[in-house]
Copies of this chain bind each other. A is one copy, B any other.
């Protein structure tokens, strides 16, 4: 299995609901360093999983609506606890959509067949979501 991972980041405000979160129930914020890993079993004709420059552009586009936002105010997160895990899954889903809408990219068994999104929230904590990509 081959993989390529690219890194970008977002700086957001948000609050969490639930006693388990303690002081993180306050409106606070985070820099999330976002590592997006693309996996495929065989390289394409250029000898790559995905072009690194293209992958960085894709990640930039997917993160753009989140950059410098208060997640509590975004329609897409109404009624949702924007935990690190939930944001990781959200970025995964948006990138899956983005890949499928990109003419030059093959998704599924013959192409990018899985991804992993890791969000580093502090020097001592990070969370991730990984999953496969159906061809659809």
Residue pair A122, B3 in contact (C-beta under 8 Å): no
**For chain A, which range describes its interface: under 10, 10 to 19, 20 to 34, or 35 or more residues?**
35 or more
Kindly state whether residue A135 has any CB partner on chain B within 8 Å. Answer: no
Within 8 A of B (CB), among A1-40: 1-9, 11-14, 18, 20-24, 26-33
Interface class of chain A by DSSP: mixed
Distance from A11 Cβ to chain B, minimum over Cβ atoms (Å): 5
Query: Contact partner of A29 among B11, B48, B89, B125, CB < 8 A?
Result: B11
A95 lies within 8 A of chain B by Cβ: no
- What 5 A-B pairs are tightest by C-beta distance, nearest first? A29-B29, A13-B13, A7-B124, A13-B29, A23-B68
Whether the Cβ atoms of A20 and B127 lie closer than 8 Å is no
Cβ B13 vs Cβ A28 within 8 A: yes
The residues of A with any CB-CB pair to B shorter than 8 Å are 1-9, 11-14, 18, 20-24, 26-33, 43, 46-49, 51-56, 67-70, 80-81, 83-86, 88-89, 121-131
